Structure 1
Amino acid sequence: MGQLKNGTYQVSTKGFKGDIDLAVTIKDEQIAKIDILKEEETPNIGGKALTALVQTAQGRNDFNVDGISGASYTSKAFNQALTLAKIAAQDEKQEATLTLNDGQYTTTVNSFQEHEGLPGVGKMTMLATFKDNKITDIEVPEYTDTHIMGGMAFDILAKKAIAKQSTDLDVVTGASVSSNAFRQALDNCILQAGGQPEIFAARKIKQRTPIVENLNTDIVVIGAGMAGLCAAIEATDQGAKVLICEAQEINGSSSTRSEGFVMGAGTKEQAKHGIEDTTDAFFEDIYSLYKDEPTIDTKLMRKLTHDSTDLNNFLMENGVTWSGVTHVSEKGVRNLKRAHTTAGLGAELIENLVQSAQEKGVDLRYGLAVDRLITLNGQVQGVVARNKLGDTLIIHASSVIVAAGSYTENPEMVKELNPRMNNIEVITGRGNGSAMRFFKQAGAQIIDVPYIQMMYYFYGASWGDRFPEAIPGSPTLPNYDVLEVDGGGRRVASEDDFCFEYTKRVWDGGYNEGYAIFGQVTADKYPEMTDLGLTTKTAQGKPFGYREDSIKALAIDVGIDPQTLEATVARYNELCEKGVDEDFHKNPANMIKITAPYYLVRLPQICTDGYTGAKINENAQVLDEDNQVIKGLYACGSCADSQMTGINYFGCGTSLLTCGVYGRAAAKDAVSHL
């Protein structure tokens, strides 16, 4: 390698979210200055890390700096950029340094895995084959992400890497973690083969000149989750020509990441298991939980429950197989078994619907993001969309069905629409708020709901591959052996009630978190839960838990009134000694007396999809501020369920029921106007 020439060198690499473009000024063999020209990293993680990395690298002659904890992909991309600048400053041909040893190489890296509906750390294994200094084959035989998310992303990236002989690979939209795992694994294999990953990264993939194309169809559906797929299949069954615009390149909707439960009453699956149920009983049960919500529309609720039987049949006709039917709680109105389950969870449910839609001729286009609606004389008549190549597609249609998810991937919109949601630990919902943009363009009436679908429970975004034995406040893996209190230190529900009973009372009390209290007996029973509480911090930077010799000290740790918490624990211990929960009727088997040393863990806000969205009627037609139908515009799913939900959520499978019923309702009405 030669000496470094003075100058400023513009370089570009792929970070966690997108391109990182730097201008690196080299003077007297050192990095004199680094300017960040462009970056698309997560502001509080990768963006913050980049600033620190720049400060560390400037004034040094070391073109590889220590990475920032928690921002490994961004750190790696930064160091790759410095290496590219160094290569450019040496004025040597990059291709001349490329030497790969023929053979097949394997590596295993961290990737994505879901735990109980929550994001976690998994693994992926890659086999890469090189011959004559080229990548000839890439296989990913083992991975923990789902087939229709991570699997699709791996296929897309492998084909592009081989075709272009480059690792200048954009993140596959909807699969950021799996995409970055793929790039890390391929770099590892290149290193094993004796090559330099930077050489492959420097081979920029050139895009062709974008084009403008006009298309015609009967109905455009925006989004390929449960709502969009049900709408598209229903419309196609009735003879319409349908095009789905799915902004992500994979099946990455909230539906795919869900547990795959679908609520229903009076179904064949219930009858098979000897369960007697009616849609009227279903309505009464769910309405009993939602009736005090100011946004509830009784007509929409009745249709939701009444049409649940037909939706269940529709799903089975389109390839969905139920593995059983269960209840989400053993107590109260949720006790009847109505949640229809799939063995492969939401991924299997959506994969079956995608297959059915494509077999029936639905034009499903991945990576096609809608920019705006086409409107004429107050009527929606299509969309303008853009694909990953930059092409503009002007799609003319009789109707547009918006099923684009909510807005919970848009932090600024969450702050604007839900200011009380200020202690969020994790958001698993999908949707960047594009639906809200379409509604605003069309003059739709928006129904504001102050909360996101959320629970207060013990889970940390920073836990990686660690997971507690059981989770206080969880809907799927609950820990009943603790005492749960609200943000003021009061017990407000039984710990073995369905978690949303507790959520409602904590929220109604005005608190942004709750707490779980337990003693040494429970701590010994759940060592991983206890250790996570004592050794990790929340997304807000607070200790997740505390261990103290007095209840008073625990109260002081979290800023609540010591006397209130002491009285709550004393009363709970009194009930434990009696063996009967006279206050909230908890199962005596889980009434474990709390003795010193004492433990407390925080229960922050764990969120899925936002509820604020468009006002619709029973046909899923979007209404304007005067409650008049906006012709040609429909909405269903998470962007239009504010009239059918509540803080005391009925349970897993209710949202997918809403998606299916109103996706089909939109399709039926849209077809009637062709």
Structure 2
Amino acid sequence: MKKYCCTLLVCLLVLSLVLTGCSGSGVKTGTKAGIYTPGTYTAQAAGFGGKVSVTMTFDANAITDVKIEGADETPAVGGKAIEEFPGMLMEAQSADIDGISGASYTSKAVLAAAANCVAQAKGEDPNQKTSVADGTYSGQAPGFSWTGMIKADVTFKDNAITDIKVVEEQETYTGEIFYTILDNYIPRILEAQSLAVDGISGATLSSNGVRGCVEQAIEAAGGRSSEWYGEVAKSTKIVKKEGYDVIVVGMGGSGITSFLSAAQAGAKVFGIETTAKLGGQSATTSGPMAANSKVKMDEEFGGKEYIDADALYKAWNDYCGADAKPEMIRMAIDESGETLDWMIMDWGFQFSPMSSFILSPYPDWKIWCYYGGETKNRFGTNKTYMFENAVKKAQDKNPAAEYMLELTAQELLMDGDKVAGVKAVYHDGTIYEIYGKTVILATGGFIGNTDMMNEYLDGPANTVAMTVDDGDGIKLGLSAGGALMNPDIPPMVHINQVANLIKNNDLDADGKQVLTSLAIATDALAVDGTGKLWNTREEICLAPQYRYYNIYTAAQIEEIKTKGLAKVNKSMFMDQGGTVEAGKPIANIDEILKVGADYKNVLVAESADDLAKAIGCDGAALKGSLNGAGGPYYAVICSGYAYATCGGLNVDDAMNVLQADGSPIRNLYAVGQDSMGVLFSSDVPYTPYGGQAQSWALTSGRLAGANAAKYAMGK
């Protein structure tokens, strides 16, 4: 991941320093002759996406250097804040400063770690905690949900946290991942008595929200939350597991179907999943494409085929041109119906009647279906339980089928030039060396890997997805000699919203709705990141950095203030509520835009040159696009929210990873987003027929599991 590292060297007058806390280590030099023991000290605290590290250098009476690293913070928000903090800390000569608006989690991490460094330099115990009063105190903080915050009651007794109870949340309406917070994260905080406990993979934002609630409760009880980041010990154990036929890396949709298929074939299988639940991204998607499923033909179409598979193949192949592999497109279509039948008949999955996709250019093609079932969340029915039940059914039939959650693959184990297994790390630090005859890579692509997004695409994207899909499987395949296929295919984007969702109460639901309407309006003057006019009907995944700018003049904003919005626009799937009506005056539009600017959703500029500088584009191009429209200007950023990347490892029809010369790595397979580049083109967006990615995840997994089991068992 990209590192943000900022250094500032200068000597200033010293102010009194008071904060202490979080884990850290120091290298002392010289003798104490003033306020500090001269030397360099380092500490870490949990930020928005991961650990934030602060290194501070002191002479006897001053802070002389500050370096901050936060590899996993969001580049546009947390990363920018990290760039600003060294100067702020140096100027104040103190860690007792305000955070940066819009980057609250990164700010808290930086200031907690800085306070720890100060405590070390002053010779104080950084793990010494200010006493907190007994009792129950409340906190409220944003998590993953964009429709409401997490509220928790935290109980203290004898300077210890004795209970954390979530009393309000909207997280479960966006999926089942929040239950991993209740079952795993909260108990670990209570056990460790530390907020330095790692967040739950796949539920980072929900982890942040609960941590934020506890921080507020500590402050309300008279303590300092920065002091509750004591280091959490990690295991140094190494565990060896041997004798497996098939090892599946990733237990989302493609990994689970790989697991089910291999287990069904009688193989000894071991599944590795980095999150704390099964299902991965497939548990949040709507459903798959399925061409001529026999179950669906019998139930809904009188036993007749409901799609001309040849016509679908021709349209798909023509759309992608020579960039995709025709034989793999053919296989994806022809095997998709059988996959749906297999999931229904063998594993108990439920699906809705076949329908056409809302964005499909072929509205008569009923090739897409939703996952079925009775329980629902914001993304449709609850898929997690279906995946869990299928895995349990496989284990009941084949006791040699195992899996572990919160286990992250680190590298492939090799026997010479042959893949021999997987080295992985458990959430507590325990290293697992898992040996087997075949390995299937099913880690969901690289949407969460900033470095890979920068290398292969146009930089990191906002996501509606779990950013735990960070390219691990693709990197493992490359390490074994595998080759890539179309890694530069634009990511899958179906949702537009403001660039930085405002999840707290700085704006009410109506204010957020107004900001969204301005951002995603299709009739505004829009420019892309180069300053050129942008057609808002175009796929936003083709725009530079997957965003564009809707520009409004001061006169237009004044008209909205007095006459209201001509049309209220709502974001598909990511609407934040609100009851704004078209044509109703919005008297507080100035305040809405101000908060939008604080969260870097709105750029305010007096002149075209100033606006070009704020966007980072060519002034002449922007002036041409403005076509004489006068300032001041308000550029409201519209951002695409991606589900996943599309390109990955090159594979053949057995799902074997291919080397650069086209030869297969016989015991290494790649499925789902880790190999979907064989189906699409770098020149056009993801296919618009509905459900191709989910279908490929399920179908490629079914085929790879069977093929890997057959190879491993010598059948």
TM-score (norm 1): 0.77
Match of 1:559 among 621, 630, 648: 621
**Equivalent residue, structure 1, for 2:670:** 635
**Equivalent residue, structure 1, for 2:706:** 668
Match of 2:236 among 209, 214, 225: 209
**Equivalent residue, structure 2, for 1:587:** none
RMSD over aligned CA atoms reads: 4.6
**Equivalent residue, structure 2, for 1:294:** 322
SS at match of 1:255: helix
Q: Which moved more, 1:266-275 or 1:340-349?
A: 266-275
Task: Deviation per CA, 1:362-391: give whole Å up to 9, x if none.
Answer: 422223222322344654332222333333
State how far apart, in whole Å, the 2-side matches of 1:352 and 1:546 are: 55
Q: Aligned runs of 1:258-337 on 2, under 5 Å?
A: 258=285, 260-267=286-293, 268=295, 272=299, 278=305, 281-285=308-312, 287-291=314-318, 292-316=320-344, 317-329=346-358, 332-337=361-366
**Equivalent residue, structure 2, for 1:352:** 386
Q: Which moved more, 1:535-544 or 1:206-215?
A: 535-544
The change in CA–CA distance for 1:484 and 1:45 in structure 2 (over 3 A counts) is closer
**Equivalent residue, structure 2, for 1:247:** 274
Q: Which moved more, 1:104-113 or 1:628-637?
A: 104-113
Are 1:189 and 2:217 counterparts? yes
SS at match of 1:53: helix
Report the alpha carbon displacement of residue 631 of structure 1 after superposing the two structures with TM.
1.0
Match of 1:153 among 181, 184, 191: 181
**Equivalent residue, structure 1, for 2:680:** 645
**Equivalent residue, structure 2, for 1:578:** none
State how far apart, in whole Å, the 2-side matches of 1:455 and 1:95 are: 45
**Contact 2:255–2:701 (CA<8 Å) still a contact in 1?**
yes
The change in CA–CA distance for 1:667 and 1:128 in structure 2 (over 3 A counts) is same
State how far apart, in whole Å, the 1-side matches of 2:623 and 2:545 are: 14
State how far apart, in whole Å, the 1-side matches of 2:605 and 2:333 are: 41
The change in CA–CA distance for 1:190 and 1:238 in structure 2 (over 3 A counts) is same
Task: Deviation per CA, 1:63-88: give whole Å up to 9, x if none.
Answer: 41111122211211232234445555
Q: What are structure 1's unaligned runs of at least 5 residues? A: 114-119, 496-501, 549-555, 567-597
Task: Deviation per CA, 1:242-264: give whole Å up to 9, x if none.
Answer: 11122344558433443x22222
Are 1:53 and 2:85 counterparts? yes
Structure 1 counterpart of 2:370, which letter? T
Are 1:364 and 2:409 counterparts? no
State how far apart, in whole Å, the 2-side matches of 1:627 and 1:473 are: 49
Are 1:238 and 2:265 counterparts? yes
State how far apart, in whole Å, the 2-side matches of 1:297 and 1:229 are: 25
**Equivalent residue, structure 1, for 2:614:** none
**Contact 1:149–1:251 (CA<8 Å) still a contact in 2?**
no
State how far apart, in whole Å, the 1-side matches of 2:694 and 2:123 are: 58
SS at match of 1:309: helix
State how far apart, in whole Å, the 2-side matches of 1:424 and 1:373 are: 28
SS at match of 1:384: strand
**Equivalent residue, structure 2, for 1:503:** 539
Are 1:226 and 2:248 counterparts? no
Report the alpha carbon displacement of residue 401 of structure 1 after superposing the two structures with TM.
0.7
Task: Deviation per CA, 1:376-422: give whole Å up to 9, x if none.
Answer: 4654332222333333322211211111121222222223223xx36
Match of 2:110 among 53, 62, 78: 78
**Contact 1:173–1:248 (CA<8 Å) still a contact in 2?**
yes
Are 1:341 and 2:379 counterparts? no
State how far apart, in whole Å, the 2-side matches of 1:668 and 1:129 are: 51
Report the alpha carbon displacement of residue 527 of structure 1 after superposing the two structures with TM.
7.4
Structure 2 counterpart of 1:104, which letter? T
Structure 2 counterpart of 1:240, which letter? A
Match of 2:654 among 616, 619, 622: 619
**Contact 2:449–2:460 (CA<8 Å) still a contact in 1?**
no
Are 1:163 and 2:191 counterparts? yes
**Contact 2:498–2:516 (CA<8 Å) still a contact in 1?**
no
State how far apart, in whole Å, the 2-side matches of 1:306 and 1:364 are: 30
Q: Which moved more, 1:350-359 or 1:449-458?
A: 449-458
The change in CA–CA distance for 1:511 and 1:398 in structure 2 (over 3 A counts) is closer
**Contact 2:499–2:638 (CA<8 Å) still a contact in 1?**
no
**Contact 2:515–2:593 (CA<8 Å) still a contact in 1?**
no
The change in CA–CA distance for 1:558 and 1:54 in structure 2 (over 3 A counts) is same
Report the alpha carbon displacement of residue 652 of structure 1 after superposing the two structures with TM.
4.1
**Equivalent residue, structure 2, for 1:526:** 568
Structure 2 counterpart of 1:333, which letter? Y
Q: Aligned runs of 1:429-444 on 2, under 5 Å?
A: 430=467, 431-444=469-482
The change in CA–CA distance for 1:223 and 1:423 in structure 2 (over 3 A counts) is closer
Match of 2:165 among 139, 143, 158: 139
Q: Aligned runs of 1:458-537 on 2, under 5 Å?
A: 458-465=496-503, 468=513, 502-503=538-539, 523-526=565-568
Structure 1 counterpart of 2:152, which letter? M
SS at match of 1:263: coil
TM-score (norm 2): 0.73
**Contact 2:154–2:163 (CA<8 Å) still a contact in 1?**
yes
**Equivalent residue, structure 2, for 1:101:** 133
State how far apart, in whole Å, the 2-side matches of 1:275 and 1:599 are: 57
**Equivalent residue, structure 1, for 2:483:** 445
State how far apart, in whole Å, the 2-side matches of 1:388 and 1:71 are: 26
**Contact 1:456–1:513 (CA<8 Å) still a contact in 2?**
no
State how far apart, in whole Å, the 1-side matches of 2:133 and 2:267 are: 55
**Equivalent residue, structure 2, for 1:595:** none
State how far apart, in whole Å, the 1-side matches of 2:620 and 2:363 are: 33
**Contact 1:221–1:403 (CA<8 Å) still a contact in 2?**
yes
The change in CA–CA distance for 1:100 and 1:397 in structure 2 (over 3 A counts) is same
Are 1:658 and 2:696 counterparts? yes
Report the alpha carbon displacement of residue 32 of structure 1 after superposing the two structures with TM.
2.4
State how far apart, in whole Å, the 2-side matches of 1:224 and 1:637 are: 11
The change in CA–CA distance for 1:169 and 1:630 in structure 2 (over 3 A counts) is same
Report the alpha carbon displacement of residue 59 of structure 1 after superposing the two structures with TM.
5.5
**Equivalent residue, structure 1, for 2:36:** 6
| Sequence identity (%) | 21
SS at match of 2:113: helix
Match of 1:405 among 444, 460, 482: 444
Q: Number of paired residues?
A: 614
State how far apart, in whole Å, the 2-side matches of 1:327 and 1:295 are: 26
Structure 2 counterpart of 1:126, which letter? A
